[in-house]
Structure 1
Amino acid sequence: LQGGLALLEGLRAHGNRPRFVFSSSGAVFGGPVPDLIDDDFAPTPLTSYGSQKLIVEALVQDYTRKGFIDGVSIRLPAICIRPGKPNKAASGFYSGIIREPLNGVEAVVPVSRDIVHSSASPRSAVGFLIHAAEIDSDRIGHRRSLNMPGVFCTVGEQIEAMARVAGPQYLRLLRDEIDPAIERIVSTWPKGYRATRAKDLGFTAEANFDEIIRIYIEEEMPDRLPPVSNR
């Protein structure tokens, strides 16, 4: 929160009303929430993380209104499959349960497989950011927070997509082990957005999770998938 405020104050002092794109989160919405959140659904965060994101959104809105910046906040879905090593983020397993098996490493599924979430690839995330940076300000209007589109699916459907795209042998590298703390956190997050405004403004994401997996393979392991023992 303090970092966001300091950055906004620096831009205000610099002048020139720059375009400012803030990466926000679905954590601004607290439960109970509908299966698909409309653009008019009120954000009521249930975590400190979500509260901080919502406060910075309000600052972006206000600094834009006063003409200090030309800001827009984009609420991202889960971005996966993220390359690299696992991180401590509560949402990190969404990437890990696909990334680790595809790289021949065992992974834990820490939540129930019927948990629903919305995802988009890192490629789409980059596209969201670039489009938000370049879109005509008048098209955005005075409401400066936008829900981004994504693929609406369960954790189980995400795993089934891996079996379709890469092969069922990779399922052997998954182990279900519920982590109550992670499940409690992600169960309060929105399952997905209708993202009507964002789509009308030209923001796009993948059509299904199979496509997200293919993008990861294309970008991170284009030569081949690692073998998995049939034993």
Structure 2
Amino acid sequence: MKILITGAAGFIGDRLARELLQRGRLDAHKIERLLLADLHPPAMDLQLDPRVDTCVGDLLQMTEALSRQALDGVFHLASAVSAECERDFDLGLGANLDSTRALLDALRRAGQRPRLVFSSSVAVFGAGPGLPLPAVIDDHTLPAPQTSYGTQKFICEQLVADYSRKGYIDGRSVRLMTVAVRPGRPNGAASGFLSAIIREPLAGLPAVCPVPPDTEVALASPANTVAGLIAAFEANQADFGGRTALNLPALSLRVGELLDALEQEAGATTRRLVRFEPDATIQAIVSGWPARVDGTRAARLGLHPDPDAQALIRQYRQHTPH
């Protein structure tokens, strides 16, 4: 198999690439080549793997070259994130909508009908006028995005579904929860603080929480997120459940509970490094996302939420050099 990962230099793209290389197989087929595409090159150890090819640059500029690749599968992760899409409307349209359309057209021209997994987001949901957000969402809840990012993701879900209906690809979309705990520097995601309030205190650094402690959120560990992407690829259409996007499993908790777990894992002094500074913009975005997700459909693929907040923190500490 030859597999393309877009957004491969990002955190989830990097984790997915490593998992696929470690497994060596996908959907019972040997992975012969892994094509890693991103604005930035992947980690050097990935570049040195003889099974890896790299493609560095803007995805919109790479699609013609990609149309000449004999691809068996695609994980389309490349994306601008939530808060930066609100700040820069054109950036979101180009990075999310235009690049996805260009990629799908490149695959259509190639005529290989590869299997494609698109990483959508729980941000497709929201509460609109006359359409309150249900207490628990499931895969049949009507999306009503309240941000440009969520709107772009929902449009791309529909494109993936229609290109699949037409037989150009074998596509399936999965809606990712907020992934925590992410290492490294903060990105432009509105939810980035949910990693920062764990990551920075564990490193002895102060962190700011822009939302109240009773704010409910839906989280997933990096390992669970990668497992969900792979399970979606390996499922047949009947098991996946048709062309409707799949909500990945979510651990639902309050921000205060996440900080309680930090204190249990690292002590009260570490917790006190987090201070609350309200940010109305971030609060509006995060509070508009669902916090409770029915994972019945995902469970049929063997996917389940992380057990608790401590598990998220322990996974981060296990994979982070000290």
- The corresponding residue for 2:289 is 189
Q: Aligned Cα RMSD in Å?
A: 1.2
1:164 to 264, 278, 284: 264
Contact 2:295–2:304 (CA under 8 A) maintained in structure 1: no
Offset, 1:88: 2.0
- The corresponding residue for 1:175 is 275
Mapped to 2, the partners of 1:201 and 1:167 lie a distance apart of: 37
Listed as ranges, the matches of 1:83-102 within 5 Å are 83-102=183-202
Offset, 1:69: 0.7
Which residue type is aligned with residue 154 of structure 1?
R
- The corresponding residue for 2:172 is 72
Percent identical residues: 49
Which residue type is aligned with residue 5 of structure 1?
R
Greater RCO, CA 8 A, separation 6+ = 1
Q: String of CA shifts for 1:17-65, please: whole Å, max 9, x gaps.
A: 1111111111111113122212211001111111110000001111111
Matched, 1:209 2:305: no
Matched, 1:27 2:127: no
Task: Spell out structure 1 runs of 4+ moving beyond 3 A.
Answer: none
| TM-score for the superposition, normalised by structure 2 | 0.67
Mapped to 1, the partners of 2:191 and 2:241 lie a distance apart of: 31
Offset, 1:210: 0.8
Which residue type is aligned with residue 132 of structure 1?
A
Contact 1:28–1:45 (CA under 8 A) maintained in structure 2: yes
2:251 to 144, 151, 167: 151
Mapped to 2, the partners of 1:55 and 1:23 lie a distance apart of: 12
Matched, 1:129 2:211: no
Offset, 1:171: 1.1
Matched, 1:61 2:161: yes
- The corresponding residue for 1:42 is 142
- The corresponding residue for 2:217 is 117
Offset, 1:136: 2.1
| TM-score for the superposition, normalised by structure 1 | 0.92
Structure 1 spans left out of the alignment, 5+ residues? 224-231
Offset, 1:141: 3.2
Q: Name the SS for the 1:82 alignment partner.
A: coil
Structure 2 spans left out of the alignment, 5+ residues? 1-96
State the aligned residue count: 222
Q: Name the SS for the 1:62 alignment partner.
A: helix
Matched, 1:200 2:200: no
Offset, 1:90: 0.5
Comparing 104-113 and 34-43, the one that deviates more: 34-43
- The corresponding residue for 1:4 is 100
Mapped to 2, the partners of 1:114 and 1:174 lie a distance apart of: 15
Which residue type is aligned with residue 317 of structure 2?
I
Q: Name the SS for the 2:188 alignment partner.
A: coil
